[in-house]
Amino acid sequence: MQIPVAEGLFAVNGAGVQLIGTRCCSCDTLYFPQTPGCRNPLCRDKQLEQVLLPDRGTLYSYTVQRYQPPALFAMDAWSPYALGLVDLGHGLRVMGMLDDVPLDKIAIGMALKLSLRTLTTDENGQSRVTYAFVPDTTKDHA
Amino acid sequence: MTKPVHVLGAGAHPWGKWPNRSQLQLAIDALAMAIDDAGLSWPEIQGLVAASSRFEGGMGWGLHANEVVQAVAEQGIPCVNVGGACAAGAIAFQTAYSMIASGQCDVVAVLGAERMPKGFIPRPPGSQDDITDSDYLRWVAMGATNPAYWAIEANRRKHDFGTTDATLAQASVLMRRNAAGNRLARFRNPTTIDEVLASPMVSDPLHLLEICPVSDGAAALILGSEQYVQRSGKRPVHVAGCAIATGQFGDPGRRIPTISSTVRDDVSHTSEVTTAVQRALAMAGMGPNDIDILEMADNTAWHLLAWPELFGFYEAGQGDWMLNNGKLDIGGDLAVNPSGGFLSFGEATTAQAVLQVCELTWQLRGEAQGHQVPDARVGMSAVLGLGANGGSVILKT
């Protein structure tokens, strides 16, 4: 049994993992996570719809979290991990954990796709999962 | 028609960790020094504007100014308490400025005082544990600490401009060198590039000595109208410009605590601060070339490289050369943080922007003992706060 870290943040379906965002139909702007309003001051109608965001992107920048964050971030067998800022296109850049790539092999511009990462698993086998980005092996590096 | 406003007095309690002194006591001390510096006394103070903190004091409602007057001078003056997180001091300054420029008051005090909690800054009570709260998501979904946000910017700079780890470290070296002569700074031991790079890696590429810690501290200013400018007998310091601003839609900056950016072309990075700076320059009728000193929020070494570029002091990517060739030193083309900056003080959030203007005041008077910028005539401050708050003040002699 997998429990997401937050409801409404991402969806797991036949197509894989996708982030749930908001699109303003009036000015064609994407937001993540879902937003109650369009922040574009020049947009007048601000008609919003829930959308599943692109599940592939390129790494804009990253860091490695070298010390343990506060307890609100729960992770079994904690060790340093990478955080990326991923360009999903359409002007949207999303932060998330980077997975399945050695910390010294991360490169700005690398192709990434969305995945799930298990953060904790309890004695009943119930796990808490978050979204993460992993190398997109179907695509060569930029 | 607004009236000219002047800085009459400045005072600050040394930065550090002061477990045995309350936030209120730090505030009272700083205010007493500023009032004395202005050659005034409490009955002449016609208003008090305080930066509100959520950490201590203020009767739990951010009523820090009220708390001070109830402790030392109950005299019926207006007390204004302003929020703005780490930029609250700049918003307090702007508010006091307006009270005098409008002609409503002749002498108004500005205050920022803070004792910071240990460790991570806790989420405020009453926050929602769901997707409506970015400060929840950034923890539960990815454990993104504040340094991680700044590190992502720093790594992108390395990619874009070839900034080296040694250059980032050099920014910390400069701040410590400046602080060595400043009795108010907390960290006054000079350091070296090797020592900075040997300090623990926090968030690649930022090491411990390249990130500002938190401190306790308090600073106060007395602003006044023309008729008070000669009272202290000190060199007059004038407010040439001051402005506050919030962020622009499409800003590419990695804004804490959000987990995404909606980026639009041609929107400035850290637009809340660059907008405030541009407004302050326009108000002063000045350009970047007119500024001798920049006191800016250096939460990390990266900020010292990036911010002056964002403000238009020089081209993007040129900061490395400026830093490595001594152009940002005391005595260089643009003295950046002669005080030693946040890296040497530690951040006492709401007090920080007030301290910046105190520093500029002392510099322009020629009173910055041990870290004086030669022939300083014009100084600018720049600060950023949670909620996309930016503020900037320009002083001139």
In the predicted model, what is the mean pLDDT of residues A115-128? Answer: 96
pLDDT surpassing 80 at residue A142? no
pLDDT tens profile B228-268? 998 889 999 999 999 999 999 999 999 999 999 999 999 99
How many structural domains comprise chain A? 1
Q: Which of B206, B254, B263 sits opposite A91 (nearest CB)?
A: B263
Instruction: Give the mean model confidence (pLDDT) for residues A12-34.
Output: 95
Say whether B138 and A131 touch across the interface (CB within 8 A).
Answer: no
| Averaged pLDDT for residues B18-36 | 97
DSSP letters of B129-181? SSTT-HHHHHHHTT---HHHHHHHHHHHHHHHH---HHHHHHHHHHHHHHHTT
pLDDT digits (tens, 9 = 90+) for A26-69: 999 999 999 999 999 999 999 999 999 999 999 999 999 999 99
- Chain A contacts of B264, Cβ < 8 Å? 91
CB neighbours of residue A51 within 10 Å: 17
Separation of alpha carbons B80 and B52, rounded Å: 9
- Using DSSP bridges, classify how beta strands B107-114 and B216-224 pair: parallel, antiparallel or unpaired: antiparallel
Using a CB-CB cut-off of 8 Å, the residues of chain B touching A94 are 259-260
Name the 3-class secondary structure at B102: coil
Residue A118 lies in a domain: yes
CB contact under 8 A, A9 and B137: yes
For residue A66, which residues of chain B lie inside 8 Å, CB to CB?
Answer: 200-204
Strand bridging mode B335-336 / A16-24: unpaired
Residue B286 CB-density burial (10 A; 0-12 exposed, 13-18 middle, 19+ buried)? middle
Is the pLDDT at B223 greater than 90? The verdict is: yes
B142–A130 CB contact, under 8 Å: yes
3-state secondary structure at position B228:
helix
Output the pLDDT for position A141: 47
pLDDT bracket for residue A1 (50, 70, 90): confident
pLDDT at A110 over 90: yes
What DSSP element (H or E) covers B202?
A: strand B201-203
Task: Look over chain A and give the mean of its residue pLDDT values, rounded to a whole number.
Answer: 95
What CATH number does the domain located at B6-119+211-396 have? Answer: 3.40.47.10
The reply to whether residue B203 touches residue A65, judged by beta carbons under 8 angstroms, is: yes
Measured CA to CA, the distance from residue B365 to residue B157 in angstroms comes to 37
Q: What pLDDT was estimated at residue A2?
A: 92
CA distance to partner chain A, nearest, from residue B162 (Å)? 13
Instruction: Report if residue A141 sits inside a domain.
Output: no
Chain B CB contacts of A67 under 8 Å are 145, 200, 202
Dihedral sign from CA coordinates of B364, B81, B120, A93: negative
Q: What is the pLDDT of residue A140?
A: 55
Query: Which sequence spans correspond to the domains of chain B?
Result: 6-119+211-396
Of B131, B140, B142, the CB nearest to A96: B142
* Residue A22 sits at the chain B interface (C-beta within 8 Å): no
CB proximity A51 to B under 8 Å: no
pLDDT of residue B303 exceeding 60 = yes
Tell me which chain B residue has its CA closest to the CA of residue A41. B249
Condensed to tens digits (0 to 9), the pLDDT of residues B148-202 reads: 999 999 999 999 999 999 999 999 999 999 999 999 999 999 999 999 999 999 9
Contact of B118 with chain A, judged by CB distance below 8 Å, is answered with no
State the nearest Cα–Cα gap between B199 and chain A, in angstroms: 12
Confidence check: pLDDT of A139 > 90: no
pLDDT of res. B108 = 98
Give yes or no for a contact between B26 and B67, defined as CB atoms under 8 angstroms apart: no
Taken in order B371, B209, B348, B242, is the CA torsion positive or negative? positive
Per-residue confidence (pLDDT) for residue B125, from 0 to 100: 80
Task: Kindly report, residue by residue over B85-131, the tens digit of the pLDDT.
Answer: 999 999 999 999 999 999 999 999 999 999 998 877 778 888 889 99
Range of the domain at A107: 2-135
Residues of B in contact with A64 (CB under 8 A): 201, 203-204
Nearest to A93 among B136, B145, B261 (CB): B261
CB contact under 8 A, A93 and B263: yes
Average pLDDT over residues B369-393: 97
Distances (CA, A) of B88 to B83, B91, B245: 5, 5, 12
CA distance B310 to B295: 14
Residue A70 with chain B: CB contacts under 8 Å: 119-120, 139
Q: Which residues contact B211 (CB under 8 A, 6 or more apart)?
A: B147, B150, B202, B299, B300, B301, B343
DSSP per-residue letters across B55-79 = SS-GGGTT-HHHHHHHHH--S---E
Interface test with A, best of B123, B129, B138, B142 (most A CBs within 10 A): B142
Mean pLDDT of chain B: 97
Flag whether A140 is in a domain.
no
Predicted complex: ipTM over 0.90: yes
Q: Answer for the pair B11, B44: CB distance below 8 angstroms, yes or no.
A: no
Half-sphere exposure of A62 (CA within 13 A, CB side): 27
